[in-house]
């Protein structure tokens, strides 16, 4: 797919970084950014994230070959409705949301017969927000999860995968439902836990917080509104993950009995070994041969 | 206190780093290291952590002005019994354990009339073990918590505080019981949570783990035996902290209801703001004026 016009809907950290990355590798592609605040669009142009800003959603996608929705998860259905009447024939639409089943379902209905949709989840970002933190290399070596369904046109999937690879990402494929189950475990529940850990501290305990505590709770620094959307959209999976965690905390508490010392050591060592193996695997993944 | 001989009981990451730090700032102080493995002592001498190794505990503390116990928490009572017959009059004993009430109580009984004891908890370290990871600057700018009791001689407290400051630490004071309560919240429970988070992951979820998950679970990489000792020694406080966390997770789950979106956002934003304030405070603390 030769992309001559790319529309980025929502020019924050992720949208802005996509624009910068595209402009660093593709020449002859116009990058149009949509946002509802004029100042944000002007800043996005100034930092080189987009070529031009557009405050009208329908106009922002006119003539675009690829449209990437980069708004908070809770706004994606609105955005799909807002663009469905003005996408050009043959256009491909994707998104960068942290939950996938609902947006894939919505897009299937809203864009039916108008444009092709494939869900993407580029796993990059930071607890910072806004185009002023955007970077052309934000996505480099990170994983982008593609979530095709039985209805997905394989060539659309391949074209969007090729796009993410073009800006330096690795890609993998899984169903929207499997994605949401896995992300509840590895991302959404950990965020809630980090928030709970910060909240439960007495002032005396917080005084003593060291580097370990700051690392453990780093992800709790994210924006509450964005995360509220994610939790609401993925609530059943988050509840299931929370139930599994509660079971493990019950196990841990039982092992605090003095007589269970050897079992407790094994439980802790097994977790340490699993994390160590994960770390080695991740280091291999992001280290080019 | 002019320290002419320092005895370090247990020459691992912490003990070795204390030795290196002392040798970098004090001349004319002999650093003796005790360990039960000859190779460890030889390595400690080779990397410059101690001047000489001693495999006999009683001999290792002979003539020492300051004795620092750096063994795992579960071995501290044994070590106190092992040195009590051979400490010189006027010697000061301290330790580096992560729990304080039990060692302070044990030392009060075991060293009574023989040597002065004050509990210390230098909050530095890493998930790595062994003298090969020791560094002279491990303690620089980190906090050392002193845990005096009503029986503590103020001049002993001041001398040991001066020692930790000499190797670059900041110091604060609290009772052994307050220390153990606070550490259960800010350190021990977070470790158990990190271990539970790693353990609960399905293989599919673990495949998708990113930098956030690795940060959140970094502290789970520690040694199971060391942490087993800490959890057993501080079990009542860890159970109390766990109960508070469970209450917050129940709150979080209730806020997943669609109708509670605004409350959920506030709950998440409050945690993010509290962590941000903590980060700013910690950055101020470790940044010299």
CATH number at residue B197: 1.10.3660.10
State ipTM: 0.91
3-state SS of B169-185 is: CEEEECCHHHHHHHHHH
Average pLDDT score over residue span B139-150: 95
Q: B206 with B281, same domain? A: yes
Q: What is the pTM of this model?
A: 0.91
Confidence at residue A289, expressed as pLDDT on a 0 to 100 scale = 47
Is residue A196 packed enough to be buried (19+ CB in 10 Å), middle (13-18) or exposed (0-12)? buried
**B241 & B106 share domain:** no
DSSP B77: H
Residue B206: give the domain boundaries: 178-286
Contacts with B216 (C-beta within 8 Å, 6 or more apart), sequence order: A190, A193, A194, A215, A216, A217, A218, A219, B194, B197
Question: What CATH number does residue B25 fall under?
Answer: 3.40.50.720
Strands A119-122 and A30-34: unpaired
CA of B216: which chain A residue's CA is closest? A216
Q: B287 pLDDT band (50/70/90 cuts)? A: low
For chain A, 289 residues long, give each residue's pLDDT as a single digit of tens: 689 999 999 999 999 999 999 999 998 999 999 999 999 999 999 999 999 999 999 999 999 999 999 999 999 999 999 999 999 999 999 999 999 999 999 999 999 999 999 999 999 877 778 999 999 999 999 999 999 999 999 999 999 999 999 999 999 999 999 999 999 999 999 999 999 999 999 999 999 998 889 999 998 988 999 999 999 999 999 999 999 999 999 999 999 999 999 999 999 999 999 999 999 988 887 665 4
The candidate with the shortest Cα–Cα distance to B29, out of B171, B172, B167, B170, is B167
Regarding whether A145 and A205 lie in a shared domain, the answer is: no
> Based on the domain organization, do B24 and B128 belong to the same domain?
yes
Does the beta-carbon distance from B182 to A205 stay under 8 Å?
A: yes
Interchain pair B272, A205: CB under 8 A: no
A-B contacts at Cβ under 8 angstroms: 268
Q: Are residues B219 and B131 in the same domain?
A: no
Sheet containing strand B92-95, edge to edge, reads B52-54, B30-34, B5-9, B66-69, B92-95, B116-117
Q: Are the C-beta atoms of A172 and A161 separated by less than 8 Å?
A: no
Decide if A222 and B182 are in contact by the 8 Å CB cutoff. Answer: no
The residue in chain A having the minimum alpha-carbon distance to the alpha carbon of residue B204 is: A182
Domain stops at, among A123, A144, A174 = A174
- Do B228 and A270 make contact, defined as CB atoms within 8 angstroms? no
Domain tally for chain A?
2
pLDDT in tens, A53-106: 999 999 999 999 999 999 999 999 999 999 999 999 999 999 999 999 999 999
Residues A9 and A133 in one domain: yes
Q: Does the distance separating the beta carbons of A271 and B256 come in below 8 Å? A: no
The Cα–Cα gap between B239 and B245 comes to 10
Same domain, B163 and B183: no
Contacts of B261 in chain A (CB under 8 A): 228, 232
Residues in chain A closer than 8 A to B201 (CB atoms)? 185-186
Q: What is the distance in angstroms between the CA of the first residue and the CA of the last residue of chain B?
A: 29
E strand residue ranges, chain B = 5-9, 30-34, 52-54, 66-69, 92-95, 116-117, 119-122, 143-147, 170-173
Taking alpha carbons only, the member of B245, B168, B202 closest to residue A217 is B245
Q: Which residue of chain B has the CA closest to A266?
A: B224
CA distance A276 to B224: 13
Convert the pLDDT of each residue in B25-61 to its tens digit: 998 999 999 999 999 999 999 999 999 999 999 999 9
Q: Are residues B121 and B188 in the same domain?
A: no
How sure is the predictor about B289, in pLDDT bands with cuts at 50, 70 and 90? very low
| Subunit contact A216:B214, Cβ cutoff 8 A | no
Choosing from B114, B148, B174, the residue where a domain stops is B174
* A190, A275, A279, A286: best to mutate for the B interface, most B CBs within 10 A: A275
User: What's the pLDDT tens digit per position in B176-224?
Assistant: 999 999 999 999 999 999 999 999 999 999 999 988 899 999 989 889 9
Q: Is the pLDDT of residue B129 over 70?
A: yes
A200–B221: do the CB atoms touch at under 8 Å?
no
From the list B182, B232, B272, the residue facing A202 with the nearest CB is: B182
Contacts of B278 in chain A (CB under 8 A): 198, 206, 209, 214
> pLDDT above 90 covers what percent of chain A?
90
pLDDT score recorded for residue B128: 79
- Distance (Å, rounded) from C-alpha A51 to C-alpha B91? 73
The whole-angstrom distance between B177's CA and the closest CA on chain A is: 12
Asked if A267's CB is within 8 angstroms of B200's CB, the reply is no
What pLDDT score does B285 carry? 79
Residue-level length of chain A: 289
Long-range contacts of residues A42-47, Cβ cutoff 8 Å, at least 24 apart: A43/A131, A43/A132, A44/A11, A44/A15, A44/A16, A44/A19, A44/A131, A44/A134, A47/A16, A47/A20, A47/A131, A47/A132, A47/A134
Boundary-marking domain end, from B132, B157, B174: B174
Measured between beta carbons, the chain A residues lying within 8 angstroms of B174 are: 204
Q: Does one domain contain both B154 and B57?
A: yes
**Quick one: A23 and A152 in the same domain?**
yes
Is B58 found in the same domain as B191?
no
Query: Are residues A195 and B219, on separate chains, in Cβ contact within 8 Å?
Result: no
DSSP structure class, residue B188: I
Residues B200 and B57 grouped into a single domain: no
């Amino acid at each position: 797919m030769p992309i001559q016009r790319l529309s980025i809907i929502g020019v924050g950290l992720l949208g802005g970084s996509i624009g910068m990355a595209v402009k660093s590798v593709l020449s002859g592609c116009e990058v149009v950014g949509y946002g509802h605040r004029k100042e944000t669009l002007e800043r996005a142009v100034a930092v080189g994230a987009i070529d031009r800003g557009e405050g009208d959603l329908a106009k922002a996608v006119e003539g675009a070959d690829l449209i990437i929705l980069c708004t908070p998860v809770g706004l994606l259905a609105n955005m799909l409705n807002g663009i469905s009447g003005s996408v050009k024939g043959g256009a491909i639409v994707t998104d960068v949301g942290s939950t996938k089943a609902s947006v894939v379902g919505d897009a299937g209905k809203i864009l039916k017969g108008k444009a092709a949709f494939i869900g993407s989840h580029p796993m990059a970002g930071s607890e910072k927000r806004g185009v002023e933190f955007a970077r052309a290399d934000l996505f480099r070596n990170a994983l982008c999860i593609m979530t095709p369904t039985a209805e997905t046109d394989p060539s659309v999937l391949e074209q969007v995968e090729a796009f993410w690879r073009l800006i330096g990402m690795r890609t993998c494929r899984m169903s929207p439902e499997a994605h949401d189950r896995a992300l509840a475990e590895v991302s959404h529940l950990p965020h809630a836990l980090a928030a709970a850990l910060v909240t439960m501290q007495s002032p005396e305990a917080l005084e003593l917080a060291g580097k370990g505590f700051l690392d453990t709770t780093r992800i709790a620094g994210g924006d509450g509104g964005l995360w509220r959307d994610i939790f609401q959209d993925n609530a059943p999976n988050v509840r299931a993950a929370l139930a599994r965690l509660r079971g493990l905390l019950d196990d841990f508490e039982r092992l605090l009995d003095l007589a269970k010392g050897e079992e407790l050591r094994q439980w802790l060592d097994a977790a340490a070994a699993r994390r160590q193996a994960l770390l080695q695997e991740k280091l291999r993944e992001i280290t080019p041969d």
